[in-house]
Chains A and B, each alone.
Chain A
Amino acid sequence: SQQGEEDPQALSIQEGENATMNCSYKTSINNLQWYRQNSGRGLVHLILIRSNEREKHSGRLRVTLDTSKKSSSLLITASRAADTASYFCATVLSGNTPLVFGKGTRLSVIA
């Protein structure tokens, strides 16, 4: 069952621009995580935000969480060609339960 749904499905921007991806989910969560996947490879964890947090930063990444709207956004500032990848949000409902992944946003950064 997929809970998270990313929007847009695909995004194409110029190098140096900011990229924003959104994730909506359906039920209450313990935390929400963002992952990146380069073409044909495994996923790499980017950032985790807990349900009692509203914003987190990591380098050029900024993640927000709005539990009242059941949504999260991932902002990548000053994008680079190397940021070209698929980005997935994953939610953790409660306890030691598996992550539930969305279908991802495919980001293309054009040099």
Chain B
Amino acid sequence: DVKVTQSSRYLVKRTGEKVFLECVQDMDHENMFWYRQDPGLGLRLIYFSYDVKMKEKGDIPEGYSVSREKKERFSLILESASTNQTSMYLCASSSPGQGAPYEQYFGPGTRLTVT
């Protein structure tokens, strides 16, 4: 059974703090993704990675960075948290498939509140 785990379900941080969100997958997937989900806006892609030490910007990378030192782990970093980063953060992984990626497997999400 594929498992994608995220380090916290709920997190409360103060403005200006550095925040680390961790994601681990156990399926040896090459691809990993970070999204944020806000009411009325759907899922928006922040960063993704197709391999260790590789990263690509998604649609809304500003204010975020990522780290992928090991294949199974993809970390999202908020360098200096701001209130507009209060959101649900979802991590996902997938295999690149043959010609096109297969389905994505999602973690349970981290609901981050920045006060």
Knowing A33-B103, A42-B108, A96-B31 touch, does A103 contact B4 (C-beta < 8 A)? no
* Complex: A44 Cα to B90 Cα, angstroms: 12
Question: How far in angstroms is the closest Cβ of chain B from A86?
Answer: 9
Contact A95 B108 (CB under 8 A): no
Chain B 75-115, CB within 8 Å of chain A: the 1/0 string?
00000000000001010100011011111111111010000
The tally of CB-CB contacts under 8 A between chains A and B is 63
Contact B43 A95 (CB under 8 A): no
A2 interfacial by beta-carbon distance below 8 Å: yes
Partner of B101, one of A2, A41, A92, A104: A92
**Interface size counted on chain B using CB atoms at 8 A:** 30
Contact A101 B100 (CB under 8 A): no
Question: How far in angstroms is the closest Cβ of chain A from B106?
Answer: 4
* Complex: A98 Cα to B34 Cα, angstroms: 11
Contact A45 B104 (CB under 8 A): yes
Which of A48, A90, A95, A99: most chain B Cβ within 10 A? A99
CB-based nearest A residue for B2 = A45
Q: A98 — which chain B residues lie within 8 A by C-beta?
A: 33, 45, 48, 58
Question: How far in angstroms is the closest Cβ of chain A from B57?
Answer: 11
Question: How far in angstroms is the closest Cβ of chain B from A2?
Answer: 6
A67 interfacial by beta-carbon distance below 8 Å: no
B59 interfacial by beta-carbon distance below 8 Å: yes
* Complex: A43 Cα to B41 Cα, angstroms: 15
A77 interfacial by beta-carbon distance below 8 Å: no
Interface residue ranges, A against B (CB under 8 Å): 1-2, 30-31, 33, 35, 40-45, 48, 88, 90, 92, 94-104
Closest 10 CB pairs of A and B: A42-B106, A103-B42, A45-B103, A30-B100, A101-B43, A96-B96, A43-B106, A42-B108, A92-B100, A42-B109
Question: 20 interchain pairs (CB within 8 A)?
Answer: A1-B59, A40-B111, A42-B90, A42-B92, A42-B106, A43-B92, A45-B104, A45-B105, A88-B43, A92-B100, A92-B101, A95-B99, A96-B31, A96-B97, A96-B100, A97-B100, A98-B33, A100-B45, A101-B35, A103-B40
